[in-house]
Every structure is written in structure tokens, then in C-alpha cells.
Structure 1
């Protein structure tokens, strides 16, 4: 698991106030080569680490599907 020390967590500006969000930290790419993802309702519950390449593929797919809706 990538070390989350120093992670700056953020959530989408499109997120509502319902609390059903994920937070991401991209500021550790140089150190960890990872994007960290966690549940905003349970920030102490751990995080998922994915490579920068995987994260880019994921967000590209989301954008592509949003355009095709």
C-alpha cells in the first residue's frame, strides 16, 4: 500500500453534500507513482492506491462515457 503521509485529499467540486463521495490524492505521484482513493465517510478506513496510468485510463473512460450518454 502506498504511504499516505502528506496526502492532500480532495473530492470533486460536483459532489453534493450527501457525503457519498470518494476523495483522491494526486500530490504523491512523484514519490509513490500512485493516486490514492478513499471513502469520504470513512477516511481512517484505508485507501486504494492505483498507478497514475490506471487512474488516467479510468478517468478517460468516465469522460468518454459521460459524453456518450
Structure 2
């Protein structure tokens, strides 16, 4: 699993020094998960809108289908 990568910044002034740190990996993973979830929901909606022919083609994808012309 990826290690947590962080971004750090140090602010230095005559009376104070402040360090800021932000972890990047969990935030990035959260953003990716949100995007993928949205895409999956869009795919589900689109799947419901497939025409009968598209659904048949999708079902037989990668298989040779012999049609009867009788």
C-alpha cells in the first residue's frame, strides 16, 4: 500500500515559527474514490438506456453469433 506523502511548509517570523503539514495520499484517494463512484453511477444509468440491439450486442460481445436468415 502507498505510504502517506505529505506536504510541509514552515513560516518563520521574529516572534514565532509555525509548521504546516498536509497529508496528500488519503485526500487524493478520497478524490479518486468520489470520481470512480460517480462514473459507476453514470454507467448504471447508461446501462438502463441501452436499446434492445445494444443490449444484445453487449451480451454477445466477443462471441461469434450466427443469425438465421430463414
TM-score by length of 1: 0.31
Larger radius of gyration: 2
Query: Which is richer in helix?
Result: 2
Point out which structure has higher relative CO (alpha carbons under 8 A, 6+ apart): 1
